[in-house]
Amino acid sequence: MSDTASPFEAVHIGLVSISDRASTGVYEDKGIPALQEWLTRAIRNPISWETRLIPDERPGISATLIELVDQTRCHLVLTTGGTGPAPRDVTPEATLDVADKVMPGFGEQMRAISLRFVPTAILSRQVAVIRGQALIINLPGQPKSIAETLEGLPRADPPAPGIFAAVPYCVDLIGGPYIETRAEVCDAFRPKAARRSFST
C-alpha cells in the first residue's frame, strides 16, 4: 500500500556512494540500492531521491555534499564508502569540511554495533554533521553493515539501537520535515511532547 496519499510530509534524501572503482564502472555500486531499499521500508513519508556515484576525492566529495544541501535542498544526506584508514579514504575529512556542527554520537553508535561482529570496526571513521537544515551521515560501504547500523540489533542480547532511531528527531530539531517510520523496521524515538498523531 502506498503512503503517497497520506498526511506525511515529503522528505528529500541525498545518497552518495563514494568509490573509485564503482564510479568508473569497474564494478556495480551496491551502496545506493541498499540504502534505497532500507529507507523505503523504514520511512512512511513520500521520498524524493538525489543519488550520486563519485570517486574518493576530498574536494569532489565536499562539493557534492554542498550541492545536495545548499542547492537541491536535501533534508538528509547519507554517504557510503571511504571511511577506513587507507590513504584514499577521505569521506570523513570531506564531510567535516562542510560541517556547521559535528554530531559524534552517530559514529560512536555505528562503531559499537559493528564491534559486535568484527574487532576491525574500530578502524571505521564515520562521522555525522549538520550543515544548514540538513543532517549528513557517513555509513559503512557494505550493504549488510549499512542495514545493521541503520536498524540496529533489536534481537541481540543485549539489543543495540540503530542510528536511524535518532534521525527523525534530529531532523525535527534542525527545521526539517517530520519523518514517520514503520515501527517494525525502525522505531524512531521522540520525547512525548515532540510526537504527532496521524490518522491513516
- Residues 51, 57, 174, 37, Cα dihedral to 10°: 30
- Using pLDDT thresholds of 50, 70 and 90, give the confidence band for residue 104: very high
Q: What is the mean pLDDT of the chain?
A: 92
CA distance 123 to 141: 13
- Indicate whether 4 pLDDT > 70: no
Residue 2 has pLDDT above 60, yes or no: no
Q: Flag the least confident range among 22-36, 153-167, 179-193.
A: 22-36
User: How far, in Å, CA of 76 to CA of 81, rounded?
Assistant: 17
| pLDDT above 90 (res 156) | no
Cis omega before residue 158 (within 30°)?
yes
Enumerate domains of the chain plus CATH numbers: 11-194 (3.40.980.10)
Q: Is the pLDDT of residue 29 over 70?
A: yes
pTM across the whole model = 0.93
Asked if 152 and 159 count as a contact pair (C-beta separation under 8 A), the reply is: yes
Contacts of 82 (CB under 8 A, 6+ apart): 18, 19, 56, 61, 88, 89, 90, 91, 138, 141
pLDDT band at residue 5 under the 50/70/90 scheme: low
% of residues, the chain, pLDDT over 90 = 82
Residue 23, pLDDT > 80, answer no
Per-residue pLDDT tens over the stretch 171-194:
999 999 999 999 999 999 999 999
